[in-house]
Amino acid sequence: MDRSGTIACVISDIFGEQFQPPAAMVLITAAAALLVVLWDALWRPARNVVTIVHEAGHALVALLAGRRLSSIRLHSDTSGVTVSRGRTDGPGMVCTALAGYLAPSVLGLAFAGLLLSERVGVVLVTCAVLLLGVLVMIRNLYGVLSVLVTGGVLFAVSWLATEEVKAAFAYLITWFLLVGGVRPVFELQRKRRRGRARDSDADQLHRLTGAPGLFWVGMFAVINTGALAVAAAWLLVP
């Protein structure tokens, strides 16, 4: 067996130009993602994916800021907690707290850029690497099950589906992260109004910086809706 040829084929499959979907597929996957986010019965289980990316954002930025990552926990109410050790204040802690609510939209925008360049394989591989990284740091049973189920779906599509289905799945993931990155911001503010989110990322940022929690919620909303608008311009405008 020519191993170098096999490796070259794998690299080509991942990084080479791939199936370019018709405009109808892009629109259908966008509509499907919007339906999942707006319909509560679908949103509740699907929100676990947003939580995984949210906590992965905290974890990655914590590591980049020089903090020591201790654990990630995902809960059945779709909340999550990432614990890192280091200074309890300063820019590193601010960036770590800031990253969570922005992570799904930023990742969705990055995926939109890859899809614009017809890099479906890179999108799927990035999802796999993210899930593996989170799985290593998960410290509760529900979190392990949540990541394994998500990874199982990703594996099935990546290895068993046709190129057309892979492309549709990559677009669905991208739209879901972009649209799904917006809804939790408004859910956060509703909880804050009711006094049920005193330890939220926005309130942690308030304690770290002195800027009001509402300022940070507004920043999340502006950045995430902006990412959605930019991605829509890339993917929907001919």
Residue 195 placed within a domain: yes
Please tell me the least confidently modeled range out of 44-58, 127-141, 192-206. Answer: 192-206
Q: What is the pLDDT of residue 199?
A: 86
The domain containing residue 169 runs over which residues? Answer: 27-236
Residue 79 placed within a domain: yes
Between 40-64 and 120-137, two packed helices, what is the crossing angle to 10 degrees? 80
Q: What is the pLDDT of residue 10?
A: 43
Residue 170 placed within a domain: yes
Residue 131 placed within a domain: yes
Q: What are phi and psi of 138, to 5 degrees?
A: -65, 140
Nearest to 44 by CA among 77, 81, 80: 77
Residue 7 placed within a domain: no
Which of residues 129 and 199 earns the better pLDDT score?
Answer: 129
Residue 136 placed within a domain: yes
Q: Give the model's confidence band at 18: pLDDT under 50 very low, under 70 low, under 90 confident, else very high.
A: low
Residue 12 placed within a domain: no
| Total domains present in the chain | 1
Q: What is the pLDDT of residue 19?
A: 61
CA-based angle 139:140:144, to the nearest 5? 95
Strands 80-85 and 68-74: antiparallel
200 is written with which tokens?
């939220």
Which of residues 180 and 4 earns the better pLDDT score?
Answer: 180
Q: pTM, whole model, 2 decimals? A: 0.91
Residue 19 placed within a domain: no
Average pLDDT (180-187) is 96
Contact 72, 82 (CB under 8 A): yes
Residues in a beta bridge with 80: 74
Average pLDDT (145-168) is 95
* Sequence-separated (6 or more) residues with CB below 8 Å from residue 143: 72, 73, 74, 75, 80
